[in-house]
Structure 1
Amino acid sequence: MGMGMLQQPPNPQQQQQQQQQQQPPSPLDNISKIKTLVGPLRESLSNTIKTAAQTLNHNSQVDAGSLKGFDVSIPRFDKNLEEFYSICDQIELHLKTSIKCLGQAESSNRYLHIPVAPHRSENLGINENMLTYPQFLATASAQVAYAKEIHDTLVAAAQNISPSD
């Protein structure tokens, strides 16, 4: 028995903390998520094209009769294509979300001239010219209720104006 055999295995909590420290933090905004998906998208496209080429080559050899049977294992084209489309769908989702966020920010700047604090906490010493997040939610709820009330009033007025049978 050597001295190396007496070492205790590392503590599982220490291993988990080391793994957490090694992993970069996940991006929070949609544009950063899109940027992180560009690399896998390129790799997936490359794999899809390579698999398509291998499949075509294999099929042409079988058709020419130079290759007997299907004993050669080649990657499945449909799986690589599905992975490529999956990444494209994720990017599309993040782009649509980004567009909606920009639209909401533009509407907020147009209709609510007071800036909103980016944090939910009220004890950050926010100045008087900023709305806290709960105040912003209350303001938005009041605006939605007011818009619904106007809509309902216009619908009722339109029904009163229309001739009855």
Structure 2
Amino acid sequence: MPFSNKVPTIYDPRIGSPMLDAEEANFEEIALKSLGGFVLVLNDNGEIYYASENVEGYLGFHQSDILHQPIFDLIHSEDRDDIRQQLDINFHIPTSSPSNQFDIFAPPNSKYLERNVNARFRCLLDNTCGFLRIDMRGKLMSLHGLPSSYVMGRSSTGPVLGMICVCT
């Protein structure tokens, strides 16, 4: 049931419709402010699949300017390998387990999908020296809704994974 960016707290049982609080009309904006950062979704090649609109307040780049651009164009050259490692599904798999027998998607192994990396992002805001250190915390997850041209052009089989992270 679409709520047009409004999140109901309770339903009126008599008429079965949501009762909206006037303060909840801007829930998305309030939620982004409470993060203390912005949200990024990267595909397995490092392309920015999604960026929250508040990224402009942190880096000075408009959301539409960075969508579908490689994250590697936005970060310091010395941090690129760290990001590539984090995007690799095999990065945290224990070396004692053969990778072909290790099910990283099994619930007890989901900790191996968690990611945390610091990177220096280019920043267009006046009060910085050109780069801003950002902590990226998130998880590798299956991405849905990718264009078929992207999915068909991949060399590996299986789900298309991406890193969903909060950047603070």
Q: Which has the higher contact order (CA 8 A, sep 6+)?
A: 2
User: Which of these two proteins has the greater Rg computed from alpha carbons?
Assistant: 1
Q: Which category of TM-score, normalised to the shorter sequence, fits these structures?
A: under 0.3
* TM-score, reference length from structure 2: 0.22
* TM-score, reference length from structure 1: 0.22
Structure number with higher helix proportion: 1
